[in-house]
C-alpha cells in the first residue's frame, strides 16, 4: 500500500509533471482533522469483533500504521481503547492521502474528500464513484465533512 522506495525515473517523471502544473492549495491541519472526524462519524454501526475503534479499523491496518505513526506496533484492543492514539494515527495516515488527492483533483476539495474516502474504504481513490456501498459511504463521509466544515 505504501511504497518503501521509488525508482529515480518515477521521481523524475513526477517532478516534471509537477513543474508543468499550477499551484494547488494543500489541505491544512483543520481539513485533515475534519476528514478524520467525518470518517469516524460515518463508520458503520456494527458489533463486528474484527473491527476496532470508533473508526472500525481492521487489525491489519492497525498493525501496518501504528509503527509508522506511533513508533511501535500496538495490539488492536489496546489501540481501540486509546481514542487519542486512534485519532492521531488516522490523521497521520489520512493527511498525506488527502494532500495527494487534493493535488490529483486540481484543488477540488469535494473531489479530494471523495477520493480520499474511497482510498480509506477500499485502498483505491478511483473507486469514489463505484456503485453500492462504496458510493453510499463516500456520500455519507462527504455530508459529515461539509457539515463539520461549515460549522467551524
Of the CA atoms within 13 Å of residue 110, those in its CB half-sphere come to 5
- Residue 15: predicted pLDDT: 43
* Residue 121 confidence (pLDDT): 95
**Rounded distance, CA 14 to CA 120, Å?**
23
Distance spanning both ends of the chain, measured CA to CA: 33
- Single pTM value for the model: 0.83
Question: What pLDDT is recorded for position 22?
Answer: 59
CB atoms within 10 A of CB 111: 17
Contact 114, 142 (CB under 8 A): yes
Helix ranges (H only) for 20-108 are 29-42, 59-69, 76-80, 83-104
Determine the Cα angle at 102 with ends 100 and 107, to 5°: 145
**What confidence score (pLDDT) does residue 19 get?**
46
3-state secondary structure of 46: coil
Per-residue pLDDT tens over the stretch 84-103: 999 999 999 999 999 999 99
Count of residues making up the chain: 152
List the chain pLDDT tens, one digit each, 152 residues: 433 344 343 333 344 444 445 577 889 999 999 999 999 999 999 999 999 999 999 999 999 999 999 999 999 999 999 999 999 999 999 999 999 999 999 999 999 999 999 999 999 999 999 989 999 999 999 999 999 999 98
pLDDT of residue 24: 74
Amino acid at each position: 500500500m505504501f511504497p518503501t522506495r521509488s525508482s529515480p525515473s518515477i521521481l523524475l517523471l513526477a517532478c516534471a509533471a509537477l513543474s508543468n502544473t499550477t499551484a494547488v492549495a494543500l489541505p491544512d491541519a483543520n481539513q485533515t482533522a475534519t476528514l478524520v472526524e467525518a470518517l469516524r462519524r460515518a463508520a458503520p454501526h456494527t458489533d463486528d469483533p474484527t473491527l476496532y475503534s470508533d473508526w472500525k479499523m481492521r487489525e491489519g491496518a492497525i498493525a501496518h500504521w501504528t509503527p509508522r505513526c506511533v513508533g511501535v506496533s500496538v495490539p488492536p484492543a489496546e489501540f481501540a481503547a486509546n481514542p487519542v492514539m486512534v485519532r492521531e494515527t488516522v490523521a497521520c495516515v489520512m493527511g498525506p492521502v488527502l494532500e495527494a488527492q487534493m493535488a490529483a483533483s486540481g484543488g477540488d476539495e469535494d473531489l479530494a474528500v471523495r477520493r480520499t474516502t474511497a482510498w480509506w474504504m477500499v485502498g483505491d481513490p478511483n473507486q469514489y464513484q463505484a456503485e453500492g456501498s462504496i458510493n453510499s459511504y463516500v456520500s455519507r463521509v462527504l455530508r459529515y465533512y461539509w457539515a463539520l466544515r461549515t460549522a467551524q
